[in-house]
Every structure is written in C-alpha cells, then in structure tokens.
Structure 1
Amino acid sequence: MGESDPLLLKNTGKSRHVKLQALRKIFITALAVTITLLWWLRQINGCNKISYPPLPKIPAHVPYLKGATFNPDENLTIVAKHGAVASDMEKCSQMGVEILKKGGFAADAAVTTCLCIGTVDTMYSSGIGGGAFITTKLANETGALSIDAREMAPGAAYRDMFKGREIASKYGGLAVAIPGELRGLYTLYKSHGSGNLSWSELVSPVAELARSGWNATQLLPGALSSQTEALKLYRKDWNFVYNKDGSLKKAGDFVSRPELADTFDMIAKNGSDAIFYDPKGPIAPFLAEKVRQYGGILTAEDFARYKVVVEPALQFHGFSDRNLTIYSPAGSSSGVALLAAIEVFNGLKNDCDQTDFTPVATQRLVESMKWLASVRTHLGDIGVYNMNKTAREDHTYRYQQFLKPEWAEHTRKKIHDDRTLDSWKEYQPAYQPNESHGTSSLSVVDQWGNAVSITTTVNLLFGSMVHDPVTGVIMNDEMDDFSVPTTKNAFELRPSIFNYIEAYKRPLSSCSQSLVVDPKTGKIDMLIGAAGGSRIPTAIFQTLVRTYFYGMDILKALAFPRLHHQLIPEILYIESPSNSTLENAMLNRGHKVEIVGHLTAMNAIRLKNNTIYAQSDYWRKLGRAAGY
C-alpha cells in the first residue's frame, strides 16, 4: 500500500469538517423549528403539560349544617309588604332590598344581588366569570322574558377536545367557556330595569363590598376545604383566600377582593357591560391570557363574539285547580323538561291522598320526574351562529313535541300507581347528557309586582380553579357540561348527541327557575329557583307540587326533605331525615331507594293576600331573605 498524499489527506479532513458543521447547523435549525412548532401546537390545542388535582368528594356542594328538617323555625320566613329578595346570602339579599327602597325595579335589585353572591362567600358557585339564566316579568306586560346568558364554547373548541384527558374539562384553562353572566345582567337592566337608577348605582355597592371586605361565614371555609389540593396546585393566584400565616380562611376571618373591586369600578364607570367584552380592553385580554397559561384555548376575541339569547319565556297554562300560568326559561336550559313533567303530573286524575310523602301521590311525582329526566336528554343548544336551516327546524321540532298535550297524554298512560316501569329504556331517553354541578339562585319581587328569578353558576366549586389575580375574576369550567363522545358513563350509555361540543355553542344546563302567575289577576303568585345541578328541575317541580297540590306553605315546601330521580342511575334518592314508611312503599313499587344528604338549595317568594313571603334555604346553604 503506497503512502498517502499529505495534501490530499489535509483537504479531505477539512472537507469532512465543513460537512459536519453544515450538518450540525441543519440539525440544530431543524430541532429549533420542531420545538417551536410543537410549542405553538400545544398553545393552539391547549395541550400544555398541565397538572390536575384530584376531584373533591363533593365536587359542587358542601354539606352545611344539618340539611332538611320537618321542624323548621318559622322566624326564617321574611314577611314583607313592599318588596323582597331571597338569595343564598343575607348580606346580598339586603343589598338588593336597598336597591328596591331607592325606587329600583326587581330587575335592578336582581343585578346587585347577583353580583354580590358572586363576590362574597358564595363566590365558589357563581360570579362574572360564569353564566346565568334569567326569567323576568314586568307587571304591566303579558308574558315573561327568558334571557339565556349561559357560557359559550370558545371559537377553537371542537367535539373531541377532551379525548384522553377528561379531567381537563373540570380543572384548568381548557375547561373555561366564554363568560355570559355580566352581559345577561346588563340585558336584564336594559330590558326590565326601572330607569330610576344608573348602571353604576347597581354595580358600585358591590365594588365597595369587595374592597372593604367582610368576615367569612361557614360557607367559604367549607368550600375551600373541599378544594385544598387544587388550591395548593394553583396557589400563586389565590392569595386572597389565605391568611398571612399561610392558613386558609376560616369562619370569622376577614376577606376582601380589591382586584375584583377594581374590575367592578371599571364596569360601573363604563356604564355598560361593553368594557368586560372588549377584546382590546382592560379585562378580556388578562382573562384570556390567564386561561391560556393553564392550557386553555380562550382568546380575547372570543369575548367579542359572546351573545345572550333573549326570547319569550316558555309557558304552561292551566296549572293546578287554580289554572295558573308557569313561565320557565328557554334557550339551553331545562325549562322544556320541567314544563313537560308539570303537564304530565297536572293531568293525572286527582283521586288519591294529595299529601306530601304519601305512597300514591309520591309514586306519581317520581314517575313524572323520570319522564322529566328523559326529556332532558333530548335537549341541547343549536348555537347562536348556526345558520343551518335544517338543523334549526329539527331543533324546534324536537323541543315543541314535548310541550304538546298529546305527548303528555301518551306519557300518562305509562304511569302506574302500583309499580315503576321495568327498565330506564322504557322511558325512551336519548342517552345521558353530562351532569351539571354547582349553582346559586335568587328571586326578587318589587312593590309594583315586577319579578325576576335568576340561576347563576361557575359549575364546580370555584369553577375551573383558574383565578386571574389581575382582575380578581374566577373563571368557570362549563365545558364540563358538554357531553364527551368518547366517554360512556357507569351504565355504558353513550352521551347525548345533542350536547356535543361545538364552537360558540352553549352546554345544556339544568337551570329552570320559574315564575307562577295568576291569569285572573295578572299578578305574580310565586317565584322559585334552585341550585344543585341535575337536581334543580326535580327540586323546583316538587316544590311547585307541594305548594299547589299539597297546600303546603313556602316554609315547609322548602325545608322538608326532597325526592330526586334522574332516570339514570335507576335510584330514587330520598333526602334525610328518612321516612321508612315511604321508603318501603317505593321499594314495593320496584324502585331502588337510597337515603342521601342534601344536594340542592332553593330560594322562593310567595305572594298571598297582598303579603310577600320570602324564603331562602337556610337549612342547606345558610341562605336568608330580606324584605321591607
């Protein structure tokens, strides 16, 4: 083998070195591009590596006090002559009454009360980072108005966005939908407000409360303790719920929310809700950025796309032997399901002992509840931007069929006094939608007879656990109320196809707050709203039956234990304290029975003989009404 040319070896080595350097540059550039693309894909799809805490044992309701009772204190009912507010917090009820005293209508007082309950101890279940349903009626107008201020899915949302990461629909940024409460309240103010008070006069008192602070009741510490693990994970954004020694707030501790106060000040001075929904304003960009920090897809531009749905409230005429009219919410609520059950029960022959917790009357009530649950599985929002004519016609037809007398008459033939049907399939559900969770409710009536009932929510306790420390707003996790097509429930049922995720669509809600009107006088006879997820419509339904069929006063109708059946699971839930006679009677009729603690809270106002009786659910949520 001959000797190699030294010059050739030198040139060859140099050439290899140049090629290696070029390859390194190409590799580094390609790696950088790949990393950048992956980062952007994660930002776009909300797939950042986000840690999630375990779900609390009680995801939306905290067991306060002793729950239901057969011996309620009569002093808990507020008797008034001019106006009243029933809400989950006495402080907020009283703030609403102060608005009434200043000449405000029920709508004006409802705005202040609603903002208040989303600010103080009940912040865990409501607030301007969530949504609301409003049923409202002016005394001098025929009919009532339904305002659907339910949250909407962000523009980048898609059907399978939670596939393989279902927990992300409950915690973190991906769970957040576009908030609607504030727009709903402003719409209420403009539609049914008195004109005697400015928007600023309704919002500013709540800003002052948030800034000056208050001493916590049992409500806030109870909710905080249920989300201890989540609060540890999101600790940097939740300073206001911790004391200086690092402990969580407990009953009696001072609490304030100065950042939320600043936000309310801006909203008040703006004179409308526009500043909250402005994609280039001082609020929406901060909220969107915080949501995206936790893996979300919400953008500031999504806020500008938000719309409320205002339409006539749903109506049922001829309720009870007094032929009353019931007005319930339309839109993406469960108002249709509630009225369908009312029509079924209302038409059953009145030939049994119409007394609370008696076997035959209860059997008819429970069977009507099961049909209510079946109807609810057929419901779902069409979307405010959906212009598909066929889809809209199908949606209208599907809803209208359950409000026809023919459907109710056909359904009543399947109700038997001595037995329940053999299987849930005989109730013809369209499979099971996701169960909605925590809510707050309030009812207001004024001296002129105007009335408003609102249900407001951020869903689970403290919503998505995303709190923006700049604006002080707690963001909802309403994306969890959509059906997830890749997930069957414990009974191997597929979710409802009518409630799949779509951009700018609203998730189905259980909200069904209602107004009862006497058509002979045109006056409000009762207002009622409830909190408790899928148990809301059954709780309202039972209370209406107790009031108008069993002749119970508003105190007992709310304080006594409640029944609930949602078809799936096939269990009749009886709220403790238990009634063994009723339990055995229902077991003999083929029901599976379970005694449970309370899972609903309710607020209602009854008007009789020119007197107002306002009742909040003190036994389950420490609620207190106020009036004058």
Structure 2
Amino acid sequence: MIPPRGQDTIQMIDTPPFNMSQSSGLSFSRESKSDNRIIGLKRFFLLLLIIVVCGFVLWQIYEVLIEEENYLGVVKYSPSEFGKFNKYAVSTDAAPCAKIGKDLLAKGGHAVDAAIGTLICMGVVLPNSLGLGGGCLMTIYDNTTKMGTVIDGRETAPDYATENMFAGDPLSSSRGPLSVGVPGELAAYWEAHQRFGRLSWSELFDASIEMAENGFQTVEHLSFALRDLSHSKYITPPLAKLLTNNATGEYYSEGEIMYQRELAQTLRRIRDKGVSEFYDGPTGQMFIDDLRKQGGKMTIENLRSYKADVKKAAEFRLNDDLRVLTQPVPGSGVVLGIILRIMQELGYYKNLKPKSDFASASLYYHHLTEAFKFAYAQRAALEDDPDDPTRLNLLLNKISSDEFIKDIVSKITDDKTHPSAYYGGLEYFQEDHGTAHTSVIDNEGNSVAITTSVNLYFGSGLVSPSTGIIYNDVMDDFVSPNLTNKFQLPPTKYNHIRPGKRPLSSMAPSVFIDGHGNPKLIIGASGGSKITTAIAMVALRNLFFNENIKTAIDSSRIHHQFLPDKIMFEANFPPEILSSLAHRGHNLKVITGRSSVVMAVACDYKNSSKVITANSDYRKGGTVAGT
C-alpha cells in the first residue's frame, strides 16, 4: 500500500558552511566586519528562499504522487505531466502534437480546430495507430447551445464486400488488400470543421506538413510498434521502406529523425484543395490505384460515396449533477453508459468508503466486474439489423430505462460471480485493436473527444507509395457467419459484413457534463476492447471518488469483457484485492504487454472560475499542453 504521509522522509543534501578564511577579503576592520555581516545576512535569506521554493516544489510533486492511503489500488508513480490550466487544454498520446493543438487554441481556434490539427500531426508521428487511411469517432460538446454532437467517421465495407468473403482465408481480413475498408477519417475532420471550425482549413495542416517534410524524432510508441513487427511477415516492401532508416538499414528507433515526404505532399494538396481532393480527386485516384496494384478491389466510386454520419450524442443521466454524452452504435458509448448507471444504482457516487476500507474496496471491484460483464453481454446485440430496422431502437430504449438497470442490480450478488449464461446472450463480438485519442477543451468550454484508428498496428500492412497513406484493416472488425471462436461460440449476426456497413467498435469518446451544463471530464482511450472499461474506471475514480485526473489515470486497472470469462489485471494491481475476487469465483489473468491508454481533461468550477487539469497516460508516453 502507499505509505502514510507521516512515514515519508525527504533526504536533504548537506551543504558545507561558508569558510571566511577562503575568501579574498582578509581585512578585519570594523567596516569590513559590518560588510561581512550584511553579506552573511543576504546569503542566509537567499538560502532560506531557496529552501522555501524547493520545499514548495517538492510538496507539489508529493501532492500529485503521494495522495492519501488508498485501498482502491496502488498508484504507479509515473513521470506523466499533471497539467494545470485555466483557459484551455489538450491531452494527446503523441507528445510532439500537443503543442500544435495549444497553438491553434491560442490563435482563437475552436476545440474542433485544435483537435483536428493535433490528429493530423498524430497521423504523421504515429502512423502505426492512425492516419488518413483509417477512421474515427468524435464527440463534440457546444458549451453555448449545451448540445452534444457525434460525428461517425468509421470506415465502411466496400461495395464488393460479402459476409462470406473471408470464409476460406480468415487471416486475409486482418492483413492484405482485402482487409481495407473505405476510410472515413478525413471526411469526419471536414464535417466537424464545417460545422464548428473558426480557423481556416489550411491553418490546421501547416505545422504537420513542415514536420513530415523536414523530419521529426521517432517517438517511443512508434519505436515500440516497430520493434513489435520486426519479425512480421505481413509488412510489405513499400511499407518497410517507409519505416526503415536509410542510415542504419533498420526500422527507426526512438529519437532518430524520420521523414514522411510523400505524406507531406498529400497533406499539402488536401490543405489547398479541401476534402474533395481525396474523395473525388487526383489524390484519391492515386490511393485507389496503388491499392489495386497490390491486389485490392476498391474503386474511386467507393470513396465518392462515403459520407461521415452526423448524429445527436447518446446521453446517459447518472444523477442530477452528472450526465455523459457519448457514442451511439457503432461505438461503445452505450456499454459505457450501462456500466456507469449500474455503479450509480449501487450507490458509489460520492461514496468514499472503498478508498479507506479494504472490505468496501474488494466489494467495489467485484461490483465493477459484474457491471462489466452485464454491460459487455449486451454489446453483441448493439448493431443495426437491415432485416429489422426497429430492433435496435427498441433495444436501446429498453437498456436505457431505469427498470433495466434496477433488474441488473437485483441480479448482482455480493458474495460470488456466476457462469456466463447468467449475464445474457452467448454470442461473441470481434475484438478490435489499435487506436489513438485526443481530448480538448477551449476557452469557451467547447469540448471534443476523438478516438481514431487504422485497427492493427500499421493497419493492413500496406501503404500507398504515391500518397504516403497507410491502409486500414477495418474488415477484421466484422465477424463471419459459421466461424466459431476459440470458445466455440457463434458470432453475433448483427456484425456481419454488408456493403456500406460500419463495424462495431470499442471506441467511446465521451464528455461528462455537470448539473449546470458545464463540461466536467473530456475523456477517451486507446487499447481495443479494453477502451470502454478503462474510461469507466478513470471516470469513476475522478467523478465518483474525487481523485485528481492524474491519480485516476495512473492507478492500476482491471478489465472484463464478458467472454472470455476472465478478469484481466495489470501487474501492479493490489494482490489482496485479486485474492478477494478469486475467493468470489472470478478467474484471473495478468495483462502482458501494453494495457489501455487514457487521455483526459478534467474541469472544476469554483467561484465563477474554471480550473482545468489534464493528463496523458504514462503507459504510452503522450503529454498535455494548455494555458
């Protein structure tokens, strides 16, 4: 456990006393003695000032890293920045890009301007996770109208796609030319900018073009991904060439200067000519031609027919003081809403007992796991059914009702968990991957949470040599009929492949709003199927248990997605809590490799002033920026 404050010690460095005999002034006149006393007093007060300043700085660090003893879990003392601002802020998982977002806000840009500019940069420095060849989900809160809007830029299945297209070769859904869906990233940027942007379209591109053309330092997460694929057979020669440092003949390592010159030219054309340059212009044709040369079937008509989907945000009211605006289908905001409403119904809002009492903490994690299981059991059915257009609306109305939540809570037992059949349908959903996220709030309180992805690292393993754009592998997010998973469970029929369809996603970018209509928490995550549970855990710690946003993000996490029936836990999760969960019948498995990664901006309102705090998860090496 974290040591109580009274047991902490701070080791001070001894400083040798000033030796008068070593000074150059050796006169001992009365006047010299007086001067020496003045000098001595000045030195004393200077030393005192230094001690006070250093003590203040150490106390601030202490306040962030060593909070009260906390039974909810050990806080890993991470080096991530705990940003404190009063005007605007950006949190992103690509450190070089936070400043671009901040600079756009400083120019008077809307939160949407800053988010798009940040993401364009992220597509340059993190091509393993996102880019113009992928897709995204946006949640936007307008603090003037108090309305939430979502923009769905998720990739779609091309017009030649069929639900059995991968039956003979399931691996081709995740790598290679047939795994590529129609990208929606750029269309979503354009739609958001047309509706909310203040700065010119071109201003959002300039800094990223310069970075791609003149070079940038390879960040840790890209280096991590490159090490991960060092033995991969799925990376094609054109992509390998892009990712190889000519000076060493090896994939780029952290700190080495990387270039994306073809992508810089593509960004310049899109900056100057707008979104039609990609969806119905020369750049789009090059993108299609390069894919077809590598075995793809997509046509320019697929790009021309793509439209970003603009909808009202899904809203879940937790209590009179708190509601969440989040993603409807195909995102997983509904799953997030179910988890949070269950925990609200169980009485955890502003209930601090789990922080100070072991029995309460162990029961909390059992309840949270049960909430995860009930919520994820619903996920497989959360998709449009073309054969029954009313089915999804009826289901959403049902699971949004108080009666539905109360019924779930009545089934949660404090002393044990239950077999999978107890929680709902036994169909599996395809596990998604990858992703990156940014959260932004501007000076007026307008807020944006955007999660974006090319799915697996480096998507399909293909790049367009003419444009520098990496192709997604979103077709792997669908399921194929008659293919059971390793647990011999059938796939959900609601996520089968159909032309023009968007697959289900774990992405759930969200904005929490207080009772006065002010944004309280702008949050999202990367990490595939662990995204939704990570957002829920951080939101609960920040909004229910009053922890600052850095502590909430730093803290160790668990994950359960209904199937497989196992709690996944980070290696530093409290063993005493794990033992209590095992005693209740839960199966446990440690998470190997990188877990979920959360980016968030939190706001408090005191005496008509706004206090903004921001953090980017240490697990990926991002950062925050603001004023």
User: Given the two structures, how large is their TM-score scaled by the length of structure 1?
Assistant: 0.84
Q: 1:252 aligns with which of 248, 251, 255?
A: 255
Aligned to 1:117: 122
Deviation of the 1:381 alpha carbon: 4.2
Aligned to 2:429: 433
Give the letter for the 2:290 counterpart. K
Deviation of the 1:112 alpha carbon: 0.4
User: Matches of residues 26-425 of structure 1 in structure 2 within 5 Å?
Assistant: 70-73=75-78, 76-120=81-125, 122-194=126-198, 197-230=199-232, 234-244=236-246, 245-270=248-273, 272-278=274-280, 281-319=281-319, 323-350=321-348, 353-355=353-355, 358-381=361-384, 391-421=388-418, 423-425=419-421
Q: Deviation per CA, 1:415-441: give whole Å up to 9, x if none.
A: 1111111x1111112501100001101
Q: Do structure 1's residue 600 and structure 2's residue 596 form an aligned pair?
A: yes
Give the letter for the 2:189 counterpart. L
Q: Distance in 1 between matches of 2:221 and 2:80?
A: 21
Deviation of the 1:75 alpha carbon: 6.7
Aligned to 2:40: none
SS at 1:76 equivalent: coil
SS at 2:114 equivalent: helix
Give the letter for the 1:347 counterpart. E
Q: Distance in 2 between matches of 1:331 and 1:465?
A: 27
SS at 1:431 equivalent: coil
Contact kept, 8 Å, 1:77 with 1:613, in 2: the verdict is: yes
Q: Distance in 2 between matches of 1:400 and 1:148?
A: 21
Q: Deviation per CA, 1:535-575: give whole Å up to 9, x if none.
A: 11111111111112222111111001111001111101111
Q: Distance in 2 between matches of 1:603 and 1:595?
A: 23
Give the letter for the 1:613 counterpart. T
Q: Distance in 1 between matches of 2:293 and 2:426?
A: 37
Contact kept, 8 Å, 1:238 with 1:467, in 2: the verdict is: no
Aligned to 2:489: 493
Q: Do structure 1's residue 538 and structure 2's residue 527 form an aligned pair?
A: no
Contact kept, 8 Å, 2:74 with 2:573, in 1: the verdict is: no
From the superposition, tell whether residues 208 and 557 of structure 1 become closer, same or farther in structure 2 (CA, over 3 Å).
same
User: Given the two structures, how large is their TM-score scaled by the length of structure 2?
Assistant: 0.84
**Aligned-pair identity (%):** 32
Q: Distance in 2 between matches of 1:200 and 1:69?
A: 45
Q: Distance in 2 between matches of 1:69 and 1:109?
A: 34
From the superposition, tell whether residues 74 and 254 of structure 1 become closer, same or farther in structure 2 (CA, over 3 Å).
closer
Q: Deviation per CA, 1:340-385: give whole Å up to 9, x if none.
A: 2221221114589333981111111111011121111111245xxx
Q: Deviation per CA, 1:117-145: give whole Å up to 9, x if none.
A: 1110x210111100000000111012200
Aligned to 1:510: 506
Aligned to 2:27: none
Aligned to 2:69: none
From the superposition, tell whether residues 246 and 543 of structure 1 become closer, same or farther in structure 2 (CA, over 3 Å).
same
Aligned residues: 544
Aligned to 2:461: 465
Structure 1 stretch displaced more, 308-317 or 221-230: 221-230
Aligned to 1:591: 586
Contact kept, 8 Å, 2:602 with 2:613, in 1: the verdict is: yes
Q: Distance in 1 between matches of 2:374 and 2:286?
A: 44
SS at 1:236 equivalent: helix
Contact kept, 8 Å, 2:426 with 2:489, in 1: the verdict is: no
Aligned to 1:448: 444
Give ranges in structure 2 of 5+ residues lacking alignment: 1-72
Aligned to 2:18: none
Contact kept, 8 Å, 2:239 with 2:461, in 1: the verdict is: no
Deviation of the 1:289 alpha carbon: 2.4
Give ranges in structure 1 of 5+ residues lacking alignment: 1-67, 383-387
Q: Deviation per CA, 1:69-114: give whole Å up to 9, x if none.
A: 7243577111112111000112111100000000101000001011
Contact kept, 8 Å, 2:124 with 2:212, in 1: the verdict is: yes
From the superposition, tell whether residues 544 and 282 of structure 1 become closer, same or farther in structure 2 (CA, over 3 Å).
same
Give the letter for the 1:344 counterpart. I
SS at 2:139 equivalent: strand
Contact kept, 8 Å, 2:420 with 2:426, in 1: the verdict is: no
Q: Distance in 1 between matches of 2:518 and 2:140?
A: 13
Contact kept, 8 Å, 2:235 with 2:461, in 1: the verdict is: no
Contact kept, 8 Å, 1:431 with 1:495, in 2: the verdict is: yes
Q: Deviation per CA, 1:457-478: give whole Å up to 9, x if none.
A: 0000000011011000001000
SS at 1:375 equivalent: helix
Contact kept, 8 Å, 1:420 with 1:589, in 2: the verdict is: yes
Q: Deviation per CA, 1:249-307: give whole Å up to 9, x if none.
A: 1122110101101110011101x3111101xx212222222223333222111001111
Q: Distance in 2 between matches of 1:459 and 1:406?
A: 36
Q: Distance in 2 between matches of 1:91 and 1:352?
A: 38
Q: 1:568 aligns with which of 563, 567, 575?
A: 563
Contact kept, 8 Å, 2:430 with 2:479, in 1: the verdict is: yes
Q: Deviation per CA, 1:591-627: give whole Å up to 9, x if none.
A: 0112224421110001114111010012x10011111
Quote the RMSD (CA, aligned, Å).
1.8
Q: Distance in 1 between matches of 2:89 and 2:132?
A: 23
Q: Distance in 1 between matches of 2:590 and 2:353?
A: 24
From the superposition, tell whether residues 225 and 71 of structure 1 become closer, same or farther in structure 2 (CA, over 3 Å).
closer
